[in-house]
Each structure stands twice: as structure tokens, then as C-alpha cells.
């Protein structure tokens, strides 16, 4: 900005850590780093993957552009015989939401997790070759969070050995599934299973929606795109859709039957495969959401940090060069905690990968003991990291002043495409309430001598933690909020700018204990308040707000501890 001085080179030369080593830490391993590097270059140098013109395209053009890119990516993956890991990277660097995200991310895993071996063989071989394209049709106009309230019905007709899929009300229309609006030929549809007049609750079914000849919707199917979403470009490259069934028939063997099945006679039979297996998939999906949070926040922070180093404003009385805005303490105070959070979310994401492996191995050995804790902790971390990332991207945008408001800064689109992560795969508030339920159960079991484990192990130190008045000021932690929390991780991780912080804050053990004490006290206070109610459910609803705060404190502790 002022005669070609490269401020970034200047800032970079000042790094006090080994930048190459840090790159590997960020990537997770030398191998992951190499893959990432190689594939990113592949995408960056391929003109088909160009994104610069995305903002000026009409919706239709944008959608066609997604089709083109998806097909091109598919071609490259096959021609270069990319590994699964490489293919995933390629699609992520393509950086344009599209129908295949749901095909690979939800349709295929649903069949893997809930289909019998036979079903997997049949459908996965079609899906893996993209001979069919699938989406995940769960949410309805009337029900998102409350999956048990879905209204679509799948009624078994023993005469024809078929299920009749039907949308009995307007609110039962499927609404939101990505890839449904224009592309998908098939869907995993969630519907209430009804046999012999009995409602067995929500189950998954593989349903063909469009002709494989001319792509037109099959008779009995009404389907379309739900229209524009937040922002320009952003998630509008995705064809989120609506779907209604008018007594639409599918063969009986298209119910996903790994966990339970319907016999030729219409009898409902649970298999001996444990239901808990479904949670394994959830842990996997949420682990990848936490990694994505770290990626998205890192991108935003990278833009804002570089801009703050280049941008100069004020501070020159004598007409000389002005102050880099990164040198203002207010700018640092807003930016550095987000930088630290991006790293923290990275590390907790890596730990979640380990957790997924651990849970999977245990499930295979029919050990379900750690599942509730693993489930609560992934739900909570999904919620916490996506909320912090959404807010953080917008803060990064503001840190760039006027220029952050331009589409070409990259930040408006990043925000618009990222924020639904707070809503899909579980509304962030609803998820924290699940964590809270688990915490209340754990606290209530403390007195009966049950030893808490994993991320709740600290509760075993209840006596000590309830007594200790950690060197770090007590009141401070109790009225803590997310911003403050992030400041704390900032200090722990970056060890930056701490002249004004108490000595204790530099001692990780002390900080960890303070977070433990805080989380425990909040949980115990909630449990005590809860015990004053005769009706526990009523107590729970009265205390929702406090329960969410206690759950968040628990999740913050997990991030600090990993």
C-alpha cells in the first residue's frame, strides 16, 4: 500500500517459532500435509475450479457451474486414481457446496450404517460409481430438531409386499435436504413405519425420486428447489429441496434393515445389532464438523491478520509512516483470541478423531459404557465450535474495516456459507441441552459412587474442586463468557501479550483447574436447583438457560484440556 513494502515478509521474518514444524502440526502429520499441498495445487491451477466470478452469476449459472465442477472433480478423481483421502481434500478445496456433499457425506454413510450387508452391496456399488445420486431427506417443513415428530408415513402393504410412502399434511413435506431440489435420483427418506396399523416410529428408506432415463420426477413425487438462501454465491450453489409423496410405492427391501426389519408378513422384528451403532456415525460426522470449524475460522483469521499487518491507519504525528492496525491493542484483543481458537479447535478436532476410533473399537466389542459420554462431548463440541466460528468470521470481517464488506475480501461469502453449521446436524441450543441432560445424570450418580470417566473424569475430584479457590480470581471465572474464555485459551496457547494477566494465567495446570472448578460448580448448582423441583422435567424446562450455560462451560473445559 505504500510503495511496495512487503509488510507480510517483515512480519513473517519475526516469527519466534519453527513455521515449517507448525505447518505439520496444523496438518496433523507429514503425510496429511503432503496430500493437502499436492491436491490444493491441483485445484488452484485448474481453470475449471476458478471461483472469482461466483458473485456475479445468476442462481442458474451458479448451479450449472457447480454441476460442471462436480463432474470435473469426479473425472480427475477417477483419472488420477485418487485415494479417498485425496478425493475428500479435492472436494473440500473445490470450495463450493454441492449435491455430492450430501451424496458422499450423508446418503452413502446412512446406507453403510443402517443397511444390511445385502443392501450395502446393491446400493453402495451404484452410489460409489455415481450411477445413482442420493440425498438425505429427514427434515420436514414442520419438524427439524424433533426427529421423532416427523409425519411422513411408510405403511406396509402386505398385498403387494410394498411400503406406501405418503405425505399426509403440508407440514410433512420434506424441506431442506441438500441435493434434493434438482439433482438427486434417490434419497434416504425418514418416515414413520406403520405395519398392521401400528406406528413403530421413524425409520429410513431408500426411495427413488427421479427417472434414470430422463431425470423427470416419478409419478407420485413432487419435488423442487426451496429458493435463495443467505448471501451471494455461498450455499446457493446447493439445490436444497422440498419433496412430497402421494401414496408412492417402494419394494419392502428398500427399508434400511440392519437394526430392525419388516417381514413378508408385515411383522416388525428388531435385529440383534445394537441400536447404539448409529451413534458411531454421529461421532464421525460431528468430528468432521469440528475440523471444518477450525478450517473456516483459520481462513477468516488468516485474511484478517494479513490485512491488519498491511493496513496502516493513524499514529503518525509527523507525516511519517502510519501505525499498522495490528499494533493496536484493540485489534489484537479481537483478533488473537480467534487465532488461538482456530488452533484450539484443530487440536480438539484431532482428539475427536482418536475418540471416534476408540468408540468404534469399543462398539465392535459391544462395550457401550463410554458412548453416552462420547456422544455428549461431540454434541457439545459441535455446538460450541460452530457458534464461536460463526461469530469469529464476522468479527474478522469487521476487523478489515470497510474493505471487509466487499465480496472480494472473501469474508462475506465465508460467513454466509458457514453459519448454517450452527443449525444443521443439530441446532446448537438443542445440542447443549443434550449435554446438560448428560451432565445432570453424571452429577446425580456421583453420590452413588459411580466414577465418572473420560471428559467428565474431573467430576471425580468434586470435593477438591468445590473447595479450592484457585489462584485465578474466582468471581471472574463464574461470570465468564465465551469471549473471555477465548481470551484464556489465547493466553494458554499463544503466550502472547500477558503483561497485565495474573501470573497464574501462565500456569496451564492452574488454568485447567480453574476451568474444572467452574464447570463443576455450574453443573452442581444446576443439579441442586433441579432437585428443588418435584417434577424433574418441569424443573429442567424452568432451568433451561442455566443448563445451557453449564453445558457450555463443560465444553470450554474440554477444549482447554485437549
Ligand X SMILES: Cc1cc2nc3c(=O)[nH]c(=O)nc-3n(C[C@H](O)[C@H](O)[C@H](O)COP(=O)(O)OP(=O)(O)OC[C@H]3O[C@@H](n4cnc5c(N)ncnc54)[C@H](O)[C@@H]3O)c2cc1C
Does residue number 95 form part of the binding site for a second copy (CB under 8 A)? no
Of 330 and 366, CB closest to ligand X: 330
Question: Residue 48's Cα: distance from chain center in Å?
Answer: 28
Of 259 and 400, CB closest to ligand X: 400
- Map the footprint of ligand X across residues 262-321, applying CB under 6 A: 311, 313-314
| CA angle (158, 162, 164) in 5-degree steps | 105
Per the annotation, does 178 bind a ligand? yes
Give the whole-angstrom CA distance, residue 185 versus residue 276: 30
Count the site residues for a second copy by CB under 8 A.
74
x/- contact string, 386-415, with a second copy (CB under 8 A)?
Answer: ----x---x--xx--xx-xxxxx---x---
Q: What is the dihedral of CA 540, 541, 542, 548, to 10 degrees?
A: 70
Does residue number 274 form part of the binding site for a second copy (CB under 8 A)? no
| CA angle (104, 105, 110) in 5-degree steps | 95
Q: Does the annotation mark 16 as catalytic?
A: no
Q: Active-site residue among 86, 151, 350, 425?
A: 425
136 binds, among ligand X, a second copy, none (CB under 5 to 8 A by kind): ligand X
DSSP letter, residue 543:
T
Per the annotation, does 139 bind a ligand? yes
For the CB of residue 524, give the shortest distance to ligand X in the complex, in Å. 22
Give the whole-angstrom CA distance, residue 50 versus residue 219: 39
Of 97 and 115, CB closest to a second copy: 97
Pick the binder of a second copy from 481, 528, 531, 536 (CB under 8 A): 481
CB distance 277 to 315 below 8 Å: no
Stretch of 291-299, 341-349, 364-372, 416-424 lying at the interface with ligand X (CB under 6 A): 416-424
Does residue number 416 form part of the binding site for a second copy (CB under 8 A)? yes
For the CB of residue 339, give the shortest distance to ligand X in the complex, in Å. 15
- Map the footprint of a second copy across residues 133-152, applying CB under 8 A: 139, 141-146, 149
Does residue number 236 form part of the binding site for a second copy (CB under 8 A)? yes
For the CB of residue 426, give the shortest distance to ligand X in the complex, in Å. 6
**Grid cell listed for 549:** 450455560
Long-range interactions of 498-505: CB distance < 8 A, separation 24+: 502/471, 502/472, 502/473, 503/471, 504/470, 504/471, 504/472, 505/472
Give the whole-angstrom CA distance, residue 400 versus residue 444: 48
Looking up cell 440383534 gives 272
Does residue number 478 form part of the binding site for ligand X (CB under 6 A)? no
> Terminal CA-to-CA distance of the chain, rounded, Å?
41
CB distance 240 to 181 below 8 Å: yes
Tell me which residues are annotated as active site. 425
Residues that bind ligand X (CB under 6 A): 102, 136-139, 144-145, 176-178, 235, 240, 311, 313-314, 325, 328, 330-331, 399, 401-403, 405, 420, 423-424, 427, 429-430, 433
Can you say which residues are annotated as belonging to the binding site? 139, 178
Amino acid at each position: 500500500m505504500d510503495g511496495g513494502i512487503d509488510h507480510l515478509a517483515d512480519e513473517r521474518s519475526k516469527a519466534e517459532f519453527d513455521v515449517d514444524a507448525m505447518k505439520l502440526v496444523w496438518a496433523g502429520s507429514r503425510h496429511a500435509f503432503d496430500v493437502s499441498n499436492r491436491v490444493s495445487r491441483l485445484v488452484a491451477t485448474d481453470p475449471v475450479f476458478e471461483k472469482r466470478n461466483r458473485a456475479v452469476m445468476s442462481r442458474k449459472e451458479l448451479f450449472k457451474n457447480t454441476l460442471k465442477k462436480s463432474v470435473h472433480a469426479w473425472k480427475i478423481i477417477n483419472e488420477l486414481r485418487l485415494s479417498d483421502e485425496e478425493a475428500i481434500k479435492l472436494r473440500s478445496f473445490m470450495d463450493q457446496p454441492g449435491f455430492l456433499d450430501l451424496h458422499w457425506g450423508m446418503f452413502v454413510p446412512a446406507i453403510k450404517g443402517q443397511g444390511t450387508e445385502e443392501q450395502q452391496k446393491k446400493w453402495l456399488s451404484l452410489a460409489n460409481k455415481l450411477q445413482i445420486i442420493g440425498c438425505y431427506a429427514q427434515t420436514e417443513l414442520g419438524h427439524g430438531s424433533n426427529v421423532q415428530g416427523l409425519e411422513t408415513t411408510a405403511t406396509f402393504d402386505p398385498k403387494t409386499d410394498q411400503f406406501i410412502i405418503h405425505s399426509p399434511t403440508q407440514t410433512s413435506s420434506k424441506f431442506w435436504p441438500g441435493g434434493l431440489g434438482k439433482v438427486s435420483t434417490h434419497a434416504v427418506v425418514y418416515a414413520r413405519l406403520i405395519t398392521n396399523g401400528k406406528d413403530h416410529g421413524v425409520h429410513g428408506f431408500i426411495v427413488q425420486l427421479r427417472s434414470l432415463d430422463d431425470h423427470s420426477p416419478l409419478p407420485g413425487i413432487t419435488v423442487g428447489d426451496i429458493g435463495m438462501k443467505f448471501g451471494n454465491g455461498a450455499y446457493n450453489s446447493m439445490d436444497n429441496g422440498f419433496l412430497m409423496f402421494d401414496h408412492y410405492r417402494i419394494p419392502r427391501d428398500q427399508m434400511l434393515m440392519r437394526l430392525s426389519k419388516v417381514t413378508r408378513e408385515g411383522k416388525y422384528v428388531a435385529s440383534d445389532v445394537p441400536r447404539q451403532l448409529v451413534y458411531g456415525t454421529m461421532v464421525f460426522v460431528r468430528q468432521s464438523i469440528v475440523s471444518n470449524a477450525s478450517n473456516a475460522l483459520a481462513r477468516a483469521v488468516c485474511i484478517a491478520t494479513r490485512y491488519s499487518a498491511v493496513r496502516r491507519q493513524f499514529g503518525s504525528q509527523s507525516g511519517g509512516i502510519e501505525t499498522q492496525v495490528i499494533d493496536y491493542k484493540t485489534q489484537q484483543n479481537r483478533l488473537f483470541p480467534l487465532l488461538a481458537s482456530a488452533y484450539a479447535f484443530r487440536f480438539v478436532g484431532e482428539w475427536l478423531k482418536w475418540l471416534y476410533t476408540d468408540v468404534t473399537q469399543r462398539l465392535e466389542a459391544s462395550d457401550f459404557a463410554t458412548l453416552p459420554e462420547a456422544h455428549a462431548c461431540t454434541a457439545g463440541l459441535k455446538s460450541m465450535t460452530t457458534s464461536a466460528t460463526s461469530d469469529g468470521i464476522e468479527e474478522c470481517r469487521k476487523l478489515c474495516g470497510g474493505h471487509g464488506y466487499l465480496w472480494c475480501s472473501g469474508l462475506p461469502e465465508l460467513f454466509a456459507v458457514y453459519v448454517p453449521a450452527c443449525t444443521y446436524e443439530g441446532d446448537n441450543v438443542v445440542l447443549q441441552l443434550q449435554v446438560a441432560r448428560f451432565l445432570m445424570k453424571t452429577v446425580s450418580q456421583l453420590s452413588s459412587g459411580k466414577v465418572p470417566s473420560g471428559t467428565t473424569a474431573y467430576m471425580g475430584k468434586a470435593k477438591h474442586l468445590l473447595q479450592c479457590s484457585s489462584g485465578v480470581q474466582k468471581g471472574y471465572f463464574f461470570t465468564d463468557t465465551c469471549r473471555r474464555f477465548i481470551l484464556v485459551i489465547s493466553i494458554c496457547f499463544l503466550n502472547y501479550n500477558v503483561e497485565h494477566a495474573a501470573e497464574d494465567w501462565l500456569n496451564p495446570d492452574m488454568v485447567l483447574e480453574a476451568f474444572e472448578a467452574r464447570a463443576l460448580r455450574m453443573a452442581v448448582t444446576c443439579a441442586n436447583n433441579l432437585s428443588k423441583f418435584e417434577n424433574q422435567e418441569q424443573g429442567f424446562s424452568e432451568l433451561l438457560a442455566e443448563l445451557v450455560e453449564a453445558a457450555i462451560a463443560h465444553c470450554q473445559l474440554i477444549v482447554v484440556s485437549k
